[in-house]
Amino acid sequence: MAEICGNLWEWNLTKVVVVDVTDDYRFMLAPMPGEFYPVIKEVWLPRHNLTEALQGEDLVKGYLYDWHETPAEDRGSWYVGVVSEELTHKDAIFRYVRNING
């Protein structure tokens, strides 16, 4: 009879750290490594098709997906940068008003 050694969840799930990168856009800053941003949330997600899932997933209400950073090691954490939805609306309104006023 076959025997399972170890924990399968370690191979099927990965830790995803969601970080707020809004200030990069608000203050026009250069991007930093994922570890340097404020952490909003940490979740465990299935590894299968994770890249595609992150882009379509609503990880944190009020934030929009911006980028993700894969781990250097196989069992490391993924970092996902998100931007405040409020900032994107303000920016869109600002561009609209500027276009109207010339």
Cα–Cα distance list, 11 to 14, 19, 45, 51, 57 (Å): 8, 23, 11, 16, 21
Q: Quote the DSSP letter at residue 95.
A: H
Print the domain residue range for 96: 21-30+82-102
pLDDT at res. 97: 46
Could you tell me which of 84, 4, 89, 72 has the C-alpha nearest to residue 34? 72
pLDDT: which is higher, 69 or 102 = 69
**Per-residue pLDDT tens for 66-84?**
999 998 887 789 999 999 9
Per-residue confidence band for 96, with pLDDT thresholds at 50, 70 and 90: very low
Average pLDDT, the chain: 82
Q: Is residue 50 part of a domain?
A: no
| Section 26-34 average pLDDT | 89
Q: Is residue 12 part of a domain?
A: no
Per-residue confidence band for 91, with pLDDT thresholds at 50, 70 and 90: low
Q: Is residue 97 part of a domain?
A: yes
pLDDT at position 94 over 70 = no
Q: Is residue 96 part of a domain?
A: yes
Question: How many domains does the chain fold into?
Answer: 1
Could you tell me which of 93, 30, 16 has the C-alpha nearest to residue 60? 16
pLDDT at res. 90: 62
